[in-house]
Amino acid sequence: MKTITLDAAVQEKVNGWLSGNYDEATKSEIKQLVENGETTKLTDAFYKDLSFGTGGLRGIMGAGSNRVNKYTLGMATQGLSNYLINTYPGKQIKVAIAHDSRNNSKEFAQQTAEVFSANDIYVYFFEGLRPTPELSFAIRELGCHAGVMLTASHNPKEYNGYKAYGRDGGQLVAPHDKNVMAEVKKIKSIDDIRFKKRERNIEIIGQEIDDKFLDAVAAVSISKEAIKRQKDLKIVFSPIHGTGGVSVPPALKKYGFENVILVEEQMKPDGNFPTVVYPNPEEQEALSLSLKKAKEVDADLVMATDPDADRVGIAVKDNKGDFILLNGNQAACLLIHYVLTAWEKAGKLTGDQYVVKTVVTSYMIDKIAASKNVDCYNTLTGFKYIGEIMTQLEGKKTFIAGGEESYGYLVGEHARDKDAVVSCTMLAEMTAYYKDQNSSLYEALINLYLEYGYYKEKLIAITKKGKSGAEEIQAMMDGYRKNPPATLGGSKVLTIKDYKISTAINTADGEKTKIDLPSSNVLQFFTEDGSIVSARPSGTEPKIKFYCSVNDKLSSKEDFDKISAQLDEKLTLILQDLGA
């Protein structure tokens, strides 16, 4: 073998994996990296342990403590098992498990089920791939104490992951996520993982839960008469080789839509995602085949879901007849405005309803909610925090809808996570509703701008891979804290919110006020002209993200292009000021 120099802690971990009871394939992979002198890859694979971020455990598949493999997921499952046993002593603990179409997801799901079963935990195991929101629904429906979804959401094909859920059907939040990780850290050897399954503790589930889930999605529908009149609405849909193909078409059919045109090239589940660069509906490239099909059939609406069907990207026709992509903020504003307006017209808004969004999602939603006298809660980034508020307010107030700028939305209380299935049905219903009024989603969006102001957002993500990248990202955040910008885009910064220390700072007099949210490595800058800029390292990818929001009054439709160009210029100046 080549002589290589590694950090002492990394070398110790490498040695432990080479000498421990790991299978030969794992050891061979590590030996090959050593043989080839791959010090950077070895460091990245072993310099830390995988930990829960905004979306659970997520990482590149391969050998190593910082990689997704049977051992890191086995330790997570054993740690979760120990936590559940300690939390619910003397009870028959039940969990539900589902997986998406990613490479190894099925095998990882089966192994997860086996470890739970070996710990005498009863497992409801989906017979095939299912969307994340159905797993969230199943946990509540079956009275489970926890659940696991094997997925890496919209990440590249090299990734996989493990989303852990609590008994409320929401992803684990503090202190539960930290308590589970504490249990994982107590496991000093893979020999402590109970891999030997007990068949009697595993029950296969499928169609019965599918039907109940689809019934719950259908129960959210509001404009049934409009759908009847617009049942031939041309809807192009793609699951981008993921789980959306299992649930979205039958859900649309259940709503009454009869003209759903599928992108056949992307209907087959495939973890290599052969027709796209990334299976991310936030990217235009991922919707290229859908847009091509839409132009061929002159579609009214285009929708594409990510591999685990919790996010959806959409495209609509503008006033020139060209298809344009709506971003997550625009779709969330349209969806929440539509549902609130429908509830208002039906006389159902009694003051006991609420909506939820994240702090980096468009503040137009706050204005929409205020205009309807509906409370709008803001949470940290991650839909698990939206689910947490839903659980806290269950039985006290009624959740109507929630959303985040990263293309995740939920309408109705059937789940505690973002749901692209119900989002697709409600987006289709909303399109039918406006078409029934000789309007379109694009025109509805312009009307929102006329009423509430033109809010324009831009997300910039800078990728910094590996250990060195993580250090660079931290240095950038430290720099913004030590030397915060005085102005952004030519406008004075009035308030700085540092969620890491849960403090808002008035830049004029230095007055500090407490932010009533958990600690998180996020900075926000609020300027005199109403612009908001957020800086946040991603919890699931090696990136630092900058969320920029600017707004201005839109007096007429004729001014749209002019105001849009002015806002684009302001966004450019803000990002230059940040050095992003």
454-578 folds as TATA-Binding Protein (3.30.310)
- Is the pTM higher than 0.75? The answer reads yes
Would you put residue 178 in left (φ > 0), alpha (ψ -120 to 50) or beta? alpha
51-71: average pLDDT: 87
Residue 202 has pLDDT above 90, yes or no: yes
Whether 131 and 307 have beta carbons less than 8 Å apart is answered as no
Architecture of domain 229-452: 3-Layer(aba) Sandwich (3.40)
The answer to whether 274 touches 289, Cβ cutoff 8 Å, is no
- What six digits make up the tokens of 265? 């090239």
Is 555 considered catalytic here?
no
What is the reported pLDDT for 178? 87
pLDDT tops 70 at residue 65: yes
Question: Considering the chain, what is the average pLDDT of its residues?
Answer: 95
In the chain, domain spans: 1-47, 59-211, 229-452, 454-578
90: left (phi over 0), alpha (psi -120 to 50) or beta: left
Judged on CB neighbours under 10 Å (0-12, 13-18, 19+), 226 is buried
Q: Say what the pLDDT of residue 551 is.
A: 97
Per CATH, 59-211 and 229-452 having the same topology is answered yes
Dist CA 577 CA 527 (whole Å):
13
Q: Is the pLDDT confidence value at 534 over 70?
A: yes
Residue 223 pLDDT more than 80? yes
- Nearest CA to 214 among 172, 271, 252, 170? 252
What span, in angstroms and rounded, lies between the C-alpha atoms of 136 and 95? 11
* pLDDT reported for residue 54: 57
Which of 153, 223, 534, 549 is flagged as catalytic? Answer: 153
Digit-coded pLDDT (tens) for 183-194: 988 998 999 999
Rounded-to-integer distance, Cα 580 and Cα 462, Å: 8
> Which pLDDT value is given to residue 50?
86
Q: Which residues, at least 6 apart from 554, have a Cβ–Cβ distance to it below 8 Å?
A: 446, 449, 450, 453, 454, 560, 563
What are the tens digits of pLDDT across the range 472-500?
899 999 999 999 999 999 999 999 999 99
Render pLDDT for 396-441 as a digit per residue (tens, 0 to 9): 999 999 999 999 999 999 999 999 999 999 999 999 999 999 999 9
Q: Is it the case that residue 541 has pLDDT exceeding 80?
A: no
Q: What is the band of 469 on the pLDDT scale with cuts at 50, 70, 90?
A: confident
Percent of the chain with pLDDT over 70: 98
* Residues 566 and 478 sit within 8 Å (Cβ to Cβ): no
142-182 pLDDT tens trace: 999 999 999 999 999 999 999 999 999 999 998 898 899 88
- What string of DSSP letters covers 242-287? STHHHHHHHHHHHHT---EEE-GGGTS--TT-TT-SS--TTSGGGG
Task: Give the CATH fold of the 59-211 domain.
Answer: Alpha-D-Glucose-1,6-Bisphosphate; Chain A, domain 3 (3.40.120)
Cα(499)–Cα(514) distance, rounded to whole angstroms? 9
Res. 136 pLDDT band, cuts 50 70 90: very high
* The predicted structure's pLDDT at residue 578: 87
Assign residue 530 a region: left if phi > 0, alpha if psi is -120 to 50, beta otherwise?
left
Q: E-assigned strands of 14-128? A: 57-60, 94-99, 122-126
CB 133 within 8 A of CB 421: yes
